[in-house]
Amino acid sequence: MSKEDAVTAGLYEVIEKEVDLVLATDPDAGRLGVYVKDTKSGEYIPLTGNISGSLL
């Protein structure tokens, strides 16, 4: 499975299950992407590294 296929499959899961929080890493988990769902618009908003760090 290519990287693009994995991302696409993951996004379908997110949309289907209507999750509130998405965590995604690169293959060696050296970087982290955090997305939260906006309850009003339904869109996923990416959090910056500083915001993600402060939450941890």
What pLDDT score was predicted for residue 33?
Answer: 85
pLDDT of residue 15: 81
pTM, rounded to two decimals: 0.72
Q: What percent of the chain has pLDDT over 70?
A: 89
Q: List, for the chain, all residue ranges whose pLDDT scores fall below the cut of 50.
A: none
**How many residues comprise the chain?**
56
Give Cα 54 to chain centroid, integer Å.
17
Strands annotated E in 1-56: 21-25, 32-37, 44-47
